[in-house]
Amino acid sequence: MEEKKIIKSKHAGIDLSSTKIMPIARYIRGKTVSDALAFLHFNEKKASGIIYHIVKSAIANGVSNLKIDSQDLYVKDVVVGPGKSRKWRRYRGKGSMNPILRRTSNVTVVLDVKENK
- Cα gap 57→60, rounded to integer Å: 5
- Cα gap 75→44, rounded to integer Å: 20
- Cα gap 20→51, rounded to integer Å: 12
For residue 2, being part of any structural domain is answered with: no
With cut-offs at 50, 70 and 90, classify the pLDDT of residue 11. very high
Bridge partners, residue 101, by sequence: 87
For residue 40, being part of any structural domain is answered with: yes
88-99: pLDDT as tens digits: 999 999 999 999
The domain total for the chain is: 1
Going by the DSSP 8-state scheme, the letter that residue 40 receives in this structure is H
Residue 100: is its pLDDT beyond 80?
Answer: yes
Nearest in space to 9 (alpha carbons), one of 59, 46, 72, 47: 59
With cut-offs at 50, 70 and 90, classify the pLDDT of residue 2. low
| CATH code (residue 96) | 3.90.470.10
Q: What is the pTM of this model?
A: 0.89
26-78: pLDDT as tens digits: 999 999 999 999 999 999 999 999 999 999 999 999 999 999 999 989 999 99
The boundaries of the domain holding residue 108 are: 8-113
